[in-house]
Structure 1
Amino acid sequence: MFTGIIQAIGQIKGKTLHEKGAVFGFTSDALDFSTVEIGDSIAVSGVCLTAIKVSSNGFIADVSQETLNCSIFGALSVGNVVNLEKALRLNQGIDGHLVSGHVDGQGKVVGKIIEGKSVRFEINVPQSLVKYIAKKGSITVNGVSLTVNRIEENDFDINIVPHTLSVTTLGQLTVGDAVNLEVDIIARHLEQLIKNK
């Protein structure tokens, strides 16, 4: 599990495709890898990945074909920047919300409006995800825990404050960019409970 509070920005240093997925390499001088071991989970722009090799400033992970298909990872290239968060520890506080690192789908940035020192993004989402998104509810965009300000038809708004713009990759988003989305885990479980009632 994760919190959606980004710990560092990293960069893709390697991408090797194969018939069943890919192997990605990531690097970051800002994340402490001394406590990361092989088999540990790290969220990369909202995708939970398992470290198969760890160095002092990065790690390597397998990425399944399913993840390439449903996330922005299929379109990412060497040199692209990513958000990084190590897995939540039981003795750690939760500053964001509970995030599983299981991407539900991709959204598309359809608006970017400067509002003072903050930025408001309008994001279009697949129809299948709209029912899980609520005004003032939680959503994860590229691994960042955020609050939904408005939801109308297939679009929702989020406001990004200056601090978040400076410590995540969200400030680099432009209109037309695809983003990883994870809806609130409670909403997903409630739907399943109601469906099987």
Structure 2
Amino acid sequence: MFNGIIYNFGIIKRIKKSPKYVVGSLVLEIQSDIKFKKTDIGESVCVDGVCLTLIKILKKSFLFYLSKETLNRSNFKYARVGKLLNIEKSLNFGNKVSGHYVQGHVDTTAIVNKITIIDKSWIIDFNLKRKHLIYLIEKGSISVNGVSLTISKVTNKGFQITVIPHTLKLTNLVKLKKNSLVNIEFDIFSKYLLKLTNHL
């Protein structure tokens, strides 16, 4: 479990196939200043909104496993060496939750339709597949590349968020441009409530 508050970056150093794992999966090497101990191997880490398993610690980088399902659901299918990533360690019991509950289970991807800059803040419009619009609630929470954000407006084709300068400084959202593809996780409570009401 994560909370979508980002304090660490990582850069993709290498992407490789491994005979150890299922055909179609990949191993991702990420260079970062974030600190891990040997006892952290096997733990879940949120990387650009995707919950990945830490499988090895190298001198200045780390290896993560990317399953075929993760590649199908996320923008990692288009990942390239040198890409900047948001990284968040999993929460410990008793940690303050400053954002919202993020599982790292990406639901889909969204495309940047438009970016408007007002007083150093960015208003970003995203387009989604129509079948996912049902999960959007104005003023509700959403995870974009692992960042906890508030939906400021629901549109006919997706949603709009406002990103303040502080968030831009600490995340890779500052790298977004028109047609960028981002990882989306809808609020877990909205998904459960929708399923429950459909069975009433």
Residue 29 of structure 2 corresponds to which residue in structure 1? 25
Per the TM alignment, residue 128 of structure 1 is displaced from its structure 2 partner at its CA by 1.7
% same residue: 39
Q: How does 1:1-197 map to 2 (within 5 A)?
A: 1-17=1-17, 19-29=23-33, 31-34=34-37, 37-55=40-58, 57-197=60-200
Distance 2:67 2:161 in 1: 30
When the two structures are superposed, what TM-score results if normalisation uses the length of structure 2?
0.94
**2:63 maps to amino acid:** I
Give the conservation status (yes or no) of the 8 Å contact 2:38–2:57: no
Q: 3-state SS of the aligned residue for 1:130?
A: helix
**2:116 maps to amino acid:** I
Give the conservation status (yes or no) of the 8 Å contact 1:2–1:86: yes
Where in structure 2 are there 5+ consecutive unaligned residues?
A: none
Paired residues, number? 196
Q: 1:154 to 1:35 in 2, by over 3 A?
A: farther
Distance 1:161 1:33 in 2: 30
**1:114 maps to amino acid:** I
When the two structures are superposed, what TM-score results if normalisation uses the length of structure 1?
0.95
Where in structure 1 are there 5+ consecutive unaligned residues?
A: none
Q: 3-state SS of the aligned residue for 2:40?
A: coil
Per the TM alignment, residue 37 of structure 1 is displaced from its structure 2 partner at its CA by 1.0
